[in-house]
Amino acid sequence: MRYRNMTMLLEDLERHGQLIRVDAEVDPYLEIAAIQRRAYRAGAPAMLFTRVKGTRFPMVANLFGTMDRTRFIFRSSLRALEGLFRLKVDPFDFFKHPWRYAGVPRALFSAMPRTVKKGSVFENTAAVSELPQLVSWPRDGGGYVTLPQVYTESPEHPGYKHSNMGMYRVQLTGPHYEKDREVGLHYQIHRGIGYHHAQALRVGESLKVNIFVGGPPAMTLAAVMPLPDDIPEVVFAGALAGFRIPMVRRGGDLPVLADADFCISGTIMPYQKPEGPFGDHLGYYSLEHDFPVLRVDNVWHRNGAVWPFTTVGRPPQEDTVFGDFIHELTAAMVPQVFSGVHEIQAVDAAGVHPLLLAIGSERYVPWASERQPQELITSGMALLGNTQTSLSKYVMITAREDAPALTTHDYDGFFKHMLERTDFGRDLHFITRTTIDTLDYTGISLNQGSKLVWTACGEKKRALAHHLPADLTLPAGFGDARLFGRGIVVLRGPAHTAARDEHDEAMFRLAEHLGGIGGLEGTPLFVVADDAAFTAEDWTNFLWVTFTRSDPATDMYGAGAFTHCKHWGCRGPLIIDARLKSFHAPALETDPDVERRVDELGAPGGPLHGFV
């Protein structure tokens, strides 16, 4: 089944028991988002809400809520797309197994968009204020579009070949925007729309933008796909959809997705306005900052238009499925993009960009009596210099030769392997005063902080402890030490009070204290948190707290620390300060009253019983 519009998709999902209709009235302010998050956690079907307070448009949630449903949606073209990726890795496989590639010619033919004269999206018009105003978290600054397809073209080279389509945050309402005339457009660093915006400013033109909502599901997935710069997302969408994506191009205007449910068309203005706050996928709020403003020229929608949405927050959420699906599609391509790298994982539990685990090769000097990271450093720097992996904050990379069965998806095994082999005086490579993910508030300012390439290879250097050292003592203000995993100590620290871009004297006292204790060779990593019990409860909590609440250069300390020729290291143990800092954005919390209302909807006899 190849879905050309949202109606085809919803009808087919309903026929196969993958969608339910919810006719009870729901509120787009907090309530519908709470329902969606619970539906995702429950593995529930997609949900079509037919009565949404304050809007005439139905809303649909959880479309991509499970891997099985996502594979089902793209079942007709998935094999052909996998064939394309396989041929990229090994072109000669076509001659060995030609039957695997029966659908590839169609996928190639479908890739280029098809320009048409008219589309269903133009059947009606609306005002921005008439659209569903989704507010996902209590402190959100207004209503948001959470599954947008934001389309632009290069002002210098217009056309599909130099187009970009990304899932950039769109704020529909807020105190700073002129009602129905302005919306906020939040795009982060290292995004294709930024290059187009820079070109427009350089040539003195305004950048035109079309925001599509709904339409063929392949367009939604393409908008989040981390593609090379020379592959337009709309081209990938055609290959994934199994048909040429129809676009309407009127005169010199930007093309419009013919079968989109909605299109917001406008122009980026030469000024910025405050956008946010917004509860984001790291599990914290993005705070209010100045971002571009889109002056709205038109809002179109087709007959029977349905507004798809999702909610982001602390992982896992529905966007976790996007990440898993993309990884499944592209895993075989990793060695082609990053020479010497065999496997990578942007860790969802850690908010994706804060932590990247990788397995590479160490082949530079195979004759050396002691293997030490060299090629691994090159590979780590390459990961920080290409595609979306460049947004990573911590890159932990080890050599496949040391443990061929090791995988980045076994956190306990991976961290154990790293901690057994790391030379803490040699293997930590910092990049300071650099660009970091816009959503990460651990750095020295918005978009600025540090990165770390942490390498490890060769023979084991230490045996990791299975128990806390019997004589472990801690300085005043620290306590509740507990062993997490093997070789990792989690403890509670005092509340953070230091200013941004400053070390904390309390952490230096801890490092000095630990340096004076013997017998810590088996516990090379100490993590300081606000709540040690929560942090050490499981890997999900540990990864989230440790890597979303620390900046490598500011928040890493060590017993016996030294700086030699600008290289920092320590004799151990290494300490990561993973406390919430005084300048961090607040973590996301739900509204108790809203959660109680959702409880009622899910109670026996309620419209959502058995689904939330």
Q: Closest by alpha carbon to 209, among 173, 258, 253, 271?
A: 253
Q: Are residues 15 and 116 in the same domain?
A: yes
More reliable by pLDDT, 225 or 191:
225
Q: Closest by alpha carbon to 296, among 441, 128, 409, 157?
A: 128
CATH number at residue 205: 2.30.110.10
Over residues 465-517, the pLDDT tens digits come to: 999 988 899 999 999 999 998 999 999 999 999 999 999 999 999 999 999 99
Residue 39, helix vs strand vs coil: helix
What pLDDT does residue 368 have? Answer: 85
Range of the domain at 65: 6-73+112-309
* Count, residues in the chain: 612
Could you say which of 288, 309, 330 is where a domain stops? 309
Rounded to whole angstroms, how far apart are CA atoms 162 and 88? 22
What pLDDT does residue 606 have? Answer: 94
Q: Is residue 244 part of a domain?
A: yes
**Residue 228 pLDDT > 50:** yes
Please count the structural domains in the chain: 2
Q: Is residue 495 part of a domain?
A: no
Q: Are residues 156 and 280 in the same domain?
A: yes
**Residue 79 pLDDT > 90:** no
Alpha helices in 423-551 (DSSP H): 505-515, 532-535, 539-548
Q: Which residue has the tokens 């448009």?
A: 57
Could you say which of 258, 275, 309 is where a domain stops? 309
Q: Are residues 218 and 334 in the same domain?
A: no
- Average pLDDT, whole number, for the chain? 93
What pLDDT does residue 178 have? Answer: 97
Q: Is residue 479 part of a domain?
A: no
Could you say which of 263, 289, 309 is where a domain stops? 309
Q: Within its chain, how far is the Cα of 197 from the centroid?
A: 23
Strand partners, 396: 357, 454
Global pTM? 0.93
Q: Are residues 278 and 177 in the same domain?
A: yes
What pLDDT does residue 94 have? Answer: 46
Q: Are residues 287 and 334 in the same domain?
A: no
Q: Are residues 287 and 366 in the same domain?
A: no
Strand partners, 489: 483, 526
Q: Are residues 255 and 300 in the same domain?
A: yes
**Residue 592 pLDDT > 90:** yes
CATH number at residue 349: 3.40.1670.10
Q: Are residues 267 and 140 in the same domain?
A: yes
Q: Are residues 334 and 441 in the same domain?
A: yes
For the residues 60-68, what does the mean pLDDT come to?
97
Q: What's at 197, amino acid-wise? A: H
Q: Are 238 and 112 in contact (CB under 8 A)?
A: yes
More reliable by pLDDT, 85 or 1:
1
Please, which pLDDT band fits residue 329 given cuts at 50, 70 and 90? confident
Q: Is residue 93 part of a domain?
A: no
Over residues 526-541, the pLDDT tens digits come to: 999 999 999 999 999 9
For the residues 187-204, what does the mean pLDDT come to?
87
Q: Are residues 440 and 303 in the same domain?
A: no
Q: Are residues 181 and 231 in the same domain?
A: yes
Q: Say how many C-beta atoms besides its own lie within 10 A of residue 516's C-beta.
A: 8
Q: Is residue 587 part of a domain?
A: no
What pLDDT does residue 470 have? Answer: 85
Over residues 45-54, the pLDDT tens digits come to: 999 999 999 9
Q: Closest by alpha carbon to 81, among 288, 333, 317?
A: 333
Q: Is residue 558 part of a domain?
A: no
Q: Are residues 280 and 342 in the same domain?
A: no
Please, which pLDDT band fits residue 103 given cuts at 50, 70 and 90? low
Q: Are 556 and 576 in contact (CB under 8 A)?
A: yes
Q: Closest by alpha carbon to 308, among 43, 9, 3?
A: 9
Rounded to whole angstroms, how far apart are CA atoms 388 and 92? 29
CA dihedral of 108, 112, 114, 115, whole degrees rounded to 10: -160
What pLDDT does residue 248 have? Answer: 97
Rounded to whole angstroms, how far apart are CA atoms 313 and 161? 34
**Residue 85 pLDDT > 80:** no
**Residue 21 pLDDT > 70:** yes
Q: Is residue 424 part of a domain?
A: yes
Lowest mean pLDDT among 89-98, 165-174, 179-188, 459-468: 89-98
Rounded to whole angstroms, how far apart are CA atoms 592 and 102? 54
Q: Is residue 566 part of a domain?
A: no
For the residues 334-355, what does the mean pLDDT come to?
92
Rounded to whole angstroms, how far apart are CA atoms 97 and 536? 48
